[in-house]
Structure 1
Amino acid sequence: MRAATVRSAGIATSMLLLGTLVLAACASTAPETAPPTAQERLAGSLTELFEQQLQNPNLSEFERDVFERAIDSGEIPQSDYDEAFNRYEQCVSDLGYEDTWTKQPNGVYRITPPPLEGQDAVDEYGEQTADCADGTTMRIEAMFIQQQSNPDLNADQRVVAIQCLLEAGFVDASYTTDDFDADLESGFQDATFDVTSTEANTCLFNAGYAVAVQ
């Protein structure tokens, strides 16, 4: 079964077509390293993460304003994230694409791309929407998701997903990152929880794993 690559909101996602479509989202294009342990953190605080973003010389004026305000207040307000998303969607609309999206309980927008015929169309959509995300949602959304879904700033996104699944009652304390890796490898077809459940699906999505049922 053929694999495809899609970029949405500046985040590269790999499609694994196994009856269930699993997209493992990566927040950056940094070289691969060994998986971090559950104790490792992305930074000492959200403010530190925002300050790191300000070091990027390629920030748009809008992004810079958002991160400067976030450093002052200690958080990215919903209104700033909404504005970033609106700017992104306007750009996508101007390209002729009609995305659909839902706003999740934590305030993060989840996008469903329009129907695309063939791999060339998928690739073109990915490239063009990545350009739209650069300067709008790409960096702001990455930080907003960490703020909303990863308050401990855990560096291992698998642990973020597992903590959410555990709190929601989908798995018990015996469920490990090895179990998660095995479920991810199988497209969650053999998982002990129902990946089509809205709440379970949202736990995965907010940790960087977008799962769509085929």
Structure 2
Amino acid sequence: MRFNVWKRLELAAVTVGIAGVVLVGCAAPDEAGVSDARVAESFAAMYTQWLTEPDLTEMDRLVLDEAQRTGRVTQGQYQDAIDRLVSCMADAGYALQLTTYPSGVIEVQPPVAVPDGDDLMSSKHFCEKTTSIYAIMGYEMQQGNPELYADPAVVAFNCLEDADLLASTATVDDVKRFMYSSERDNFPFDSEDFGVKACFYGAGMAYGTVAEAE
């Protein structure tokens, strides 16, 4: 299995660090080691907090100003932000690959063959900082983590469970091992399944499958 660092485990973790967002809920794990801590009390509260960030682009500020009132980044705003990111990367010489999941979230991946990884990541960071990365993060959290859980493993587990993509014996720890360890076999879900990939992407993790690598 081939894993790609383009999309990091960040949708939950990054928002904890932005503008000092404070975890809410029970931060201590239960007997099964699962915490119900959230990154914010609500999306409106999170967007209000994001508006204090000094590096917002004008487009991000416009989107977040509306979102703090409505509690939502719209699909149209998200698509516009994705289009801007793709266009910026194209100007830098990188034609991104896009995969749209049923939730409306669009997985963005770099070209398969990249001669200079450092230049790719430098271009990625530049484009994120000059387009609408907050709009992208907000919408993807709405779709992939509607309960605003702070633990990406809990986010992925809930999605997989709701979609009936887990064996009955599966635990959050199984999901966590898949996300954070080098183990790739004997998991209670099919990592090649499109729906499984969608759940992990919603939790901030992207990976290539064996079939895609062949």
Q: Which amino acid aligns with 1:141?
A: I
Deviation at 1:92, TM superposition (A): 0.7
2:64 matched to 1:67? yes
Q: 1:160 maps to which residue?
A: 155
Structure 1 residues 132-141 or 200-209, which shifts more? 132-141
2:108 matched to 1:124? no
Gaps of 5+ in 2: 19-26, 30-34
Judging by fraction of residues, say which structure has more strand: 1
2:190 matched to 1:208? no
Return the alpha-carbon distance in structure 2 between the equivalents of residues 36 and 155 of structure 1.
12
Describe the SS at the equivalent of 2:9. Answer: strand
Deviation at 1:188, TM superposition (A): 3.0
Q: 1:80 maps to which residue?
A: 77
Gaps of 5+ in 1: 1-18
Q: 1:6 maps to which residue?
A: none
Mapping of 1:140-159 within 5 angstroms?
Answer: 140-159=135-154
TM-score (norm 2): 0.80
Of 37, 40, 44 in structure 1, the residue corresponding to residue 37 of structure 2 is 40
Structure 1 residues 159-168 or 186-195, which shifts more? 186-195
Q: 1:197 maps to which residue?
A: 193
What whole-Å deviation, never above 9, does each CA across 1:31-79 have from its counterpart, x for those lacking one?
A: 9xxx874211111111001001101011111100000111222211111
Identity %: 28
Of 162, 171, 193 in structure 1, the residue corresponding to residue 166 of structure 2 is 171
Distance 1:36 1:153, change over 3 A: farther
Distance 1:142 1:198, change over 3 A: same
Return the alpha-carbon distance in structure 1 between the equivalents of residues 28 and 105 of structure 2.
25
What whole-Å deviation, never above 9, does each CA across 1:87-133 have from its counterpart, x for those lacking one?
A: 11111111111112122221211122113345xx1121011111101
Contact in 2 for aligned 1:21/1:211 (Cα 8 Å): yes
